[in-house]
A and B are shown apart, each in its own frame.
Chain A
Amino acid sequence: MPERLVPPAKVSPIDTALLRPFRRLGAHVTRALCRLGFAARFLLATLGHIGTALRRLPLTVREIYFTGVLSLVIIAVSGLFVGMVLGLQGYDTLQRFGSTSALGTLVALSLVRELGPVVAALLFASRAGSAITAEIGLMKATEQLSAMEMMAVDPVARVVAPRFFAGVISMPLLAALFSALGVLGGYLVGVRLLGVDDGLFWSQMQAAVNFREDIANGVIKSFVFGVLVSWIAVFEGYDAEPTAEGVSGATTRTVVTSSLAILGADFVLTAFMFRG
């Protein structure tokens, strides 16, 4: 039967069923490392344009408007509600030990150290990061980036750098606002609603919260998260496949990757800052 005119291809020893999973794993790792390397070089190129972003300040200010100002409402409302919930839950637990005066400490420390930077960064990633990715990805899909290159305008300097630095600047401010409004929310529920003593609430808080250990470390955290989220957002946008599908996939990846990166980085930073 002339079914097989071509002799069966000799299976190379690398492609046996036993080794195939390893080969696939290797291919995955290699691809991921390639992407990471590309992302790192992209970050360096973006950081190299810090001068451009500052010299052409109007571009950066415009991006701060889109990433920072437009995130204000969601950050403010979430901060207030998170603080109010902390007030309710903390009061319920603390009153069992008769130490409701420690409510201020509990609310302030959990917000300043953890919840402020982390939740603000998660909200920032889904509110602003996804928008940045979609915008840059769509610019790429509609060949605006290539058009800029044709006109000898560097798209990294003109499009990517302002968005990146706007995110890095906005993030610590948003996290500080989140924490401050959260403390106010805890104050409203704890003192105004549940009747914790006003003076004890603030004095216990001030006695326990240290500027360098707690507040400055929280600001450092939010700054690191700002760099991570902005970096992932601009990179995913720039690296997106120039199709409608590609852009939507890149937007999803931005939210997923930055959320994981925030939580992972938070663990590492916390381990370094607060282990003592």
Chain B
Amino acid sequence: MNRAAIDLWVGIFVALGLAALVFLAFRVGNLGGLSGGGEVYRLYAEFDDIGGVKVRAPVKSAGVVVGRVEDIRFDGQSYRAAVTLAMDGRYRFPRDTILTINTSGLLGEQYINCEVGGDEQLLGDGDKVRKTQSAVVLEKLISQFMFNKAAERKD
């Protein structure tokens, strides 16, 4: 086998390998989505109970992904969960937006939902979202239901 043929085959091989990587990045992975750069701004929020939300969980509004959870810490001062959100720079939300923790489907992943308010002023980089709603803890819900039933029977 001569030089030229070897060079040709190696060239084809490397091109195929790189094409496979590009395929993985853009078709299989989500590069080009939100994680692939783009302008982001940060919002802070505190939750009483973060539930099953993990770092990198989506932040959605009207079901569309508008950001990701960047960091979750425990605030030793207020004893609440301090969450940092990296929001897509294209979307701005009013100051009185409420953050709730929702579950997609019955057993799906948990995400943070933005319920848009009506304030004229918009949230900017580094702002804190005041109104949040904790995750629904199934055990609490069930026990509440049981107590209500018990109370009903006494009446």
Contact = CB atoms under 8 A, between A and B. Distances in A.
Contact of B6 (A65, A183, A206): A65
Nearest to B1: A65
A276 B24 CA distance: 23
A180 B13 contact: no
B13 A211 contact: no
Interface string A177-218: 101110100000000000000000010011101111111000
Interface in B1-43: 1, 3, 6-7, 9-10, 12-14, 16-21, 23-25, 27-31, 33, 35-36
Residue in B7, B21, B31, B33 whose Cβ sees the most chain A Cβ within 10 Å = B21
A213 B54 CA distance: 14
B29 A215 contact: yes
B7 A180 contact: no
B128 interface: no
Q: Which 7 A-B pairs have the closest CB atoms?
A: A173-B17, A180-B20, A211-B31, A176-B20, A211-B29, A177-B20, A209-B29
A179 B6 contact: no
A68 B23 CA distance: 19
By size class, the interface of chain A is 20 to 34
Contacts, number: 90
A217 B31 CA distance: 14
A206 B29 contact: yes
Residue in B19, B28, B29 whose Cβ sees the most chain A Cβ within 10 Å = B28
A63 B85 CA distance: 49
Interface in A68-113: 68-69, 72, 108, 112
A3 B46 CA distance: 94
Interface of B: 1, 3, 6-7, 9-10, 12-14, 16-21, 23-25, 27-31, 33, 35-36, 55-56
A137 interface: no
Residue in A174, A206, A219 whose Cβ sees the most chain B Cβ within 10 Å = A206
Interface of A: 58, 61-62, 64-65, 68-69, 72, 108, 112, 170, 172-174, 176-177, 179-181, 183, 202, 205-207, 209-215, 219, 276
A61 B9 CA distance: 10
Contact of A211 (B9, B23, B35): B35
A205 B6 CA distance: 37
Nearest to B6: A65
A214 B20 contact: no
B155 to A, nearest CB: 41
B29 A210 contact: yes
Given A179-B24, A180-B24, A211-B36, A64 B13 contact: yes
A61 B17 CA distance: 15
